[in-house]
């Protein structure tokens, strides 16, 4: 498979943007990606755009052409909905479109507005990513679903609430200097343990927040980059996507995420690497337990062994495998339709050396993103590599 080069990335600050629509946020992210790439919107041959709850938050459907217009792109434009993995899947479609030879230049990205909703409204909107008939009707929300996974994990493998607290502390610490992150505030283990309970064992700081934001990337074929003398720094060398049963009760094992295992294995094989080759990772930590499950599913740890990774400093900025140097969903924020492409944007900057935390990974050559939808009923994994590594 040919490699796809990341010509440019862009991302808004995540958080509350009460005066701005999703189209306005996406226009900014796409504009930054074009500036970063040196290409004009005219060069784009296809747009894949991720969004989850536009109908609910802004009564706005049919967002493909809307977002093409916002980005000044006149090319076929398709919206992709895959819950919190919407724009990660959009990136995969962009990569595969270029690899198939159907296009040389593709704009990918996503946006979400959530902060214009109250927390109950946002919770209700998010619950549409769960099984409406068997989970939502029984009262399951996403903090509730992931807390079931955490409690089952504790039952089967051990671990404590305090172990999870270290994941939140680490990711908040990583975001302190990241201007694009929603929270730039360090927190302590005590802060996490003493925070109001959301759904036991989770307190406030075990959860990603509701966020507004957008992210975009301009992808080009290797041939296009060469023909146009483009000096790209990062390429996508591996992609993988997989699905699982939507509802938790249909799973063989609740505290494991086989869709992430399969997406990871596919991406590793595609890139021709092993988990041990990965130097830095951005994983989908929508709740603290989700980071633990991701690290185990991706083969960095055996099942039951990643629970102490953050506590032991192994995934910290100076650890063996720095994880979520952007702050992750926990502290960078989680505008769900933008998250997957935001991981690509942050990791690209980390690898090419213009992220605030790049110095910590100056020797890194290979990075990985893991983006999940629902309780990991969808998962998409990308392997990124430095071009001159």
Task: Say whether residue 52 binds ligand COA (CB under 6 A).
Answer: no
Query: How many other C-beta atoms are found inside a 10 Å radius of the C-beta of residue 277?
Result: 14
Q: How many residues bind ligand COA (CB under 6 A)?
A: 16
**Binding pattern for the stretch 11-50 against ligand COA, x by CB under 6 A and - elsewhere:** ----------------------------------------
State the Cα–Cα distance between residues 342 and 329, nearest whole angstrom.
10
State the Cα–Cα distance between residues 275 and 298, nearest whole angstrom.
7
Provide the minimum distance between the beta carbon of 259 and ligand COA in the complex, in angstroms, as a whole number: 14
Nearer to ligand COA, 106 or 242 (CB): 242
Q: Of residues 169-198, which lie at the interface with ligand COA (CB under 6 A)?
A: 183, 198
Task: Say whether residue 208 binds ligand COA (CB under 6 A).
Answer: yes
Provide the minimum distance between the beta carbon of 208 and ligand COA in the complex, in angstroms, as a whole number: 5
Catalytic positions, please? 84, 334
Task: Say whether residue 117 binds ligand COA (CB under 6 A).
Answer: no
Element of type H or E holding 68: helix 63-70
Binding span for ligand COA by CB under 6 A among 105-113, 199-207, 343-351, 363-371: 199-207
State the Cα–Cα distance between residues 218 and 126, nearest whole angstrom.
28
**Range list of β-strands (E), 252-365:** 280-283
Rg (CA), the chain: 19
Task: Say whether residue 207 binds ligand COA (CB under 6 A).
Answer: yes
Out of 23, 113, 235, 334, point to the residue binding ligand COA (CB under 6 A).
334
Nearer to ligand COA, 124 or 352 (CB): 124
Task: Say whether residue 126 binds ligand COA (CB under 6 A).
Answer: yes
State the Cα–Cα distance between residues 32 and 269, nearest whole angstrom.
32
Provide the minimum distance between the beta carbon of 355 and ligand COA in the complex, in angstroms, as a whole number: 22
Residue 205 Cα distances to 193, 282, 311, angstroms: 8, 19, 16
Here the tokens at position 145 are 């679903």
Query: How many other C-beta atoms are found inside a 10 Å radius of the C-beta of residue 102?
Result: 11
Task: Say whether residue 148 binds ligand COA (CB under 6 A).
Answer: no
Provide the minimum distance between the beta carbon of 210 and ligand COA in the complex, in angstroms, as a whole number: 5
State the Cα–Cα distance between residues 36 and 33, nearest whole angstrom.
5
State the Cα–Cα distance between residues 72 and 66, nearest whole angstrom.
10
Binding span for ligand COA by CB under 6 A among 206-214, 274-282, 299-307, 360-368: 206-214
Out of 71, 210, 220, 344, point to the residue binding ligand COA (CB under 6 A).
210
Task: Say whether residue 209 binds ligand COA (CB under 6 A).
Answer: yes
Closest by CA to 326, choosing from 173, 102, 109, 112, is 173
Closest by CA to 259, choosing from 108, 133, 370, 126, is 370
Provide the minimum distance between the beta carbon of 29 and ligand COA in the complex, in angstroms, as a whole number: 20
Closest by CA to 287, choosing from 369, 343, 209, 207, is 207
Nearer to ligand COA, 47 or 167 (CB): 167
Q: Which residues contact 365 (CB under 8 A, 6 or more apart)?
A: 279, 351, 385, 386, 389
Here the tokens at position 359 are 């110095």
Task: Say whether residue 204 binds ligand COA (CB under 6 A).
Answer: yes
Nearer to ligand COA, 94 or 209 (CB): 209
- 3-state secondary structure at position 94: helix
Task: Say whether residue 286 binds ligand COA (CB under 6 A).
Answer: yes
Out of 6, 84, 130, 323, point to the residue binding ligand COA (CB under 6 A).
84
Here the tokens at position 152 are 């089952």
Provide the minimum distance between the beta carbon of 99 and ligand COA in the complex, in angstroms, as a whole number: 29
The residues of the shown chain that bind ligand COA, judged by CB under 6 A, are: 84, 119, 123, 126, 142-143, 183, 198, 204-205, 207-210, 286, 334
């Amino acid at each position: 498979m040919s490699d796809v080069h990341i010509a440019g990335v862009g991302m808004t600050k995540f958080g509350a943007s009460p005066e701005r629509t999703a189209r306005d946020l996406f226009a900014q992210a796409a504009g930054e990606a074009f500036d970063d790439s040196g290409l004009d919107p005219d060069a784009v041959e296809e747009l894949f755009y991720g969004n989850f709850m536009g109908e609910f938050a802004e009564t706005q459907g049919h967002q493909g052409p809307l977002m093409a217009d916002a980005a000044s792109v006149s090319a076929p434009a398709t919206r992709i909905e895959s819950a919190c993995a919407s724009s990660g899947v959009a990136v995969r479609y962009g990569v595969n479109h270029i690899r198939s030879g159907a296009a040389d230049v593709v704009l990918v990205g996503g946006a979400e507005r959530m902060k214009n909703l109250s927390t109950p409204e946002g919770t209700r909107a998010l619950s549409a990513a769960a099984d409406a008939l068997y989970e939502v009707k029984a009262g399951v929300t996403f903090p509730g679903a992931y807390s079931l996974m955490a409690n089952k994990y504790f039952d089967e493998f051990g671990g404590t609430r305090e172990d999870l607290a270290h994941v939140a502390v680490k990711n908040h610490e990583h975001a302190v200097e990241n201007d694009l992150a929603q929270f730039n505030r360090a927190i302590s283990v005590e802060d996490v343990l003493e925070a109001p309970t959301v759904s036991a064992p989770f307190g406030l700081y075990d959860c990603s927040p509701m966020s507004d934001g957008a992210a975009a990337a301009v992808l080009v074929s290797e041939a296009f980059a060469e023909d146009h003398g483009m000096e790209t720094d990062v390429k996508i060398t591996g992609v993988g996507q997989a699905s699982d049963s939507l509802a938790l009760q249909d799973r063989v094992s609740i505290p494991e995420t086989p869709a992430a295992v399969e997406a990871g294995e596919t991406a590793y094989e595609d890139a021709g690497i092993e988990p041990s080759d990965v130097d830095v990772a951005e994983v989908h930590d929508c709740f603290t337990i989700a980071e633990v499950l991701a690290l185990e599913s991706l083969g960095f740890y055996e099942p039951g062994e990643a629970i102490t990774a953050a506590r032991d400093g192994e995934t910290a900025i100076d650890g063996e495998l720095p994880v979520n140097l952007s702050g992750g969903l926990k502290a960078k924020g989680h505008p769900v339709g933008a998250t997957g492409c935001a991981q690509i944007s942050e990791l690209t900057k980390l690898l090419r050396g213009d992220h605030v935390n790049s110095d910590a990974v100056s020797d890194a050559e290979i990075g990985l993103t893991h983006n999940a939808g629902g309780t990991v009923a969808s998962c998409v994994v990308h392997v990124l590599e430095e071009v001159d590594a």
